[in-house]
Structure 1
Amino acid sequence: MSAPNLDPKALRDAFGAFATGVTVVTTRDAADKPIGFTANSFTSVSLDPPLLLVCLAKSSRNYAAMTEAGAFAINILSETQKDVSNTFARPVEDRFAAVDWRPGAQGCPILSGVSAWFECAMHEVVDAGDHVILVGRVLVFDNSGLNGLGYARGGYFTPNLSARAVSAAAEGNIEFGAVLEREGEVLLLGEGPMTLPACRGGDGNPTDVLARYLEELTGLSVTIGFLYSVYEDKGSGFQHIVYRAFAGEGEPRVGRFIRPDAVRAGEVKDQSTADILARFALESSIGNFGVYFGSETAGRVHSISTKGPRP
């Protein structure tokens, strides 16, 4: 898409392809009241001097307090802190009542249970279009060693869960599958019984293998999203790793897009496929997705919310 015709929503979606961590930025306002907001537009800048930055929308209700603050803190959330991210992303009256925190050396709120935190002196405020860039000079920090919470394409993910999934399946026969979605519908193959698209594991990154297979199969552009289901079929001995995936526009070469809640169990090849479709229909309706680990008959869903951080 060329510069004169940029679609803001499409541009935001494209920016969202870059996976980031999730932070809560905190300070105190002129009345010494703690304030904070969720942000994923954070990066390190320099080791000497020790600088970092975070971006803040000029439309934010925290704009005046943050740009006038002499100090602020960056709290990098751990993979168990999705609720904390959601709390600081929403217009809650007293966000700090819902979390455990303490004041840092400069008085900035430091949240408990985070992966790492940095308390900074305000080094510079840089104008940047509809945002400002807050550059902080690190005064003190701590690193807990906990795994961080990830965010990309409008949803949270936990890198450790994904790594565990691939590692668990590495020693057996692997099949990569996809819930390939578009506008609330899912691609199913065959007339009856129908199946989700899947391919046998090969050399290379699993998501690359799956993306190539799906694009060759359908003739559509495909983006692989996050891990959705990992289960062992004890009868066949196969490990199944299923990802969410997103299809571009056009008519698929094979199969058809169907609303998952319109598919009955007897119309698909097995109970595992029926379970995936039923769970996807439910999670889509409430906007709260998860990752399933287990077998074809029993397991556990690790909840991962899709209500995410705002810049």
Structure 2
Amino acid sequence: MSVQEFEPRALRDAFGAFATGVTVVTANDAAGRPIGFTANSFTSVSLDPPLLLVCLAKTSRNYATMTGAERFAVNILSETQKDVSNTFARPVEDRFAAVDWRKGPNGCPIFSQVAAWFECSMQDLIDAGDHVVMIGRVTAFENSGLNGLGYARGGYFTPRLAGKAVSAAVGGEIRLGAVLEQQGSVYLLGDETLSIPSCTVEGDDPARTLAAHLEQLTGLTVTIGFLYSVYEDKSDGRQHIVYHALAGDGAPREGRFLRPEDAAAAKFSSTAIADIINRFVLESTIGNFGMYFGDETGGTVRPIAKKDARS
């Protein structure tokens, strides 16, 4: 897409292809009341001196208070804290009543059960279009060792937590599969009859097994996202676990990426695979994905929380 054709929504969706973590940035207003907002535009900057940055939209209700604060904190949310992310991404009046928090060494709100937190003094504010870049100098921090919550292309992903949960929940032989997406196109194998990539479970981390298989198969970088489908196929006696995944740029070694409209017209190796791809085609047009539980003939689709995190 050329510069002349830029559409804000399309550009935002393209930025969303980059998988990130999720944070809640907190501070205190002039009266000492806690404020906070969800942000994914966070990164480390320097070890010496210890600096980090986070971006804040100028339209944020917290803009004046946050940019005027002398100190702020960044809470990196853990895999189980999607509800915290959603709470601080929405216009809820008393957000802090819904979370367990305490004051950090310098008074900023610090959440419990986060993957890590950083308390900072405000080092600099840099104007950046419709955002401002807040650069903080780290004055205190803590690393809990918990895995962080991530998201990409409109959905949260917690691959390790989901993988362990699925491994514990299902019995029998397990087959892993992927709806592997690249800029809206889906990766398929075969010529006249198509299928999604799949492999058997090895070890206790199915997400890692699947990522390694996909990267070897395609030669591309792969990020495993959310669970997309869990079903029992009575025709082969297997449990099938299908993840949504994202592929980096480039042409694959094997197989091909098809646009949704082309994938919808293809012939597939089984009705279960056809249902998965047809659901992906439908959901990708509305930008809202679900998770299927059942068997190869019927089940339920549960909505996946949309990416409410905002910079």
Task: State whether TM-score is above 0.5.
Answer: yes
The residue type paired with residue 198 of structure 1 is I
Q: Percent identity?
A: 60
Which moved further from structure 2: 76-85 or 199-208? 199-208
3-state SS, counterpart of residue 198 of structure 1: coil
> Where does residue 33 of structure 1 map in the other structure?
33
Alpha-carbon contact 2:23-2:77 (below 8 Å) kept = yes
2:49 and 2:156 map into 1 onto residues whose CA distance is 32
CA offsets, 1:168-223, max 9 Å, x none?
99x9674635498x99xx9xxxxxxxx994345399744457879xxxxxxxxxx9
Query: Which structure 2 residues correspond to residues 10-159 of structure 1 after superposition, within 5 A?
Result: 10-159=10-159
Q: Contact 1:201/1:209 (CA < 8 Å) preserved in 2?
A: no
Task: Find out whether 1:256 has 2:256 as its counterpart.
Answer: no
| Alignment CA distance shift 1:45-1:225 (3 Å) | same
Q: CA deviation at 1:8?
A: 1.9
Give me the CA root mean square deviation.
Answer: 4.5
The one-letter code matched in structure 1 to 2:177 is F
**Secondary structure at the residue paired with 2:308?**
coil
Q: Is the Cα contact below 8 Å between 1:21 and 1:149 reproduced in 2? A: yes
CA distance in 2, matches of 1:172, 1:197: 19
When normalised by structure 1's length, the TM-score is 0.71
Say which SS state the counterpart of residue 86 (structure 1) adopts: helix
Task: Name the count of aligned residue pairs.
Answer: 279
- Residue type matched to 1:126 in 2? I
Residues 7 and 161 from structure 1, CA distance in 2 versus in 1: closer, same or farther, beyond 3 angstroms?
same
For residues 146-225 of structure 1, what are the structure 2 equivalents within 5 Å? Answer: 146-161=146-161, 164=164, 174=175, 176=177, 178=179, 197-201=195-199, 205-208=212-215
Q: Residue 151 of structure 1 aligns to a residue in which SS?
A: strand
- What's the CA shift string for 1:133-174, capped at 9, x where partnerless? 1111111111111111111111111031465489899x9674
Question: Would you say the 8 A contact 1:177–1:197 is kept in 2?
Answer: no
CA contact (8 A) 2:38 2:89 kept: yes
* Displacement after TM superposition at 1:82 (Å): 0.6
- Residues 157 and 225, structure 2, Cα contact 8 Å, conserved in 1: no
Task: State the secondary structure of the residue aligned to 1:13.
Answer: helix
Distance 1:107 1:303, change over 3 A: farther
Is the Cα–Cα contact under 8 Å of residues 85 and 308 in structure 1 kept in the other structure? yes
With normalisation by structure 2, the TM-score equals: 0.71
C-alpha separation between the residues in 2 aligned to 1:226 and 1:39?
Answer: 20
Flag the 1:139–1:309 CA change in 2: closer, same or farther, 3 A. Answer: same
> Structure 1 unaligned runs (5+)?
187-194, 213-222, 258-267
Gaps of 5+ in 2: 187-192, 201-209, 247-256
Deviations 1:23-50, CA, capped at 9 Å, x for gaps: 0000011122110000010011111111
Change (3 A) 1:201 1:250: closer
Which residue identity does 1:25 align to in structure 2?
A: V
Distance apart, 1:278 and its partner CA: 9.0
Structure 1 residues 163 and 207, CA gap change in structure 2 (3 angstroms): farther
Distance 1:158 1:58, change over 3 A: same
Decide whether the 8 Å contact of 2:178 with 2:196 is kept in 1: yes
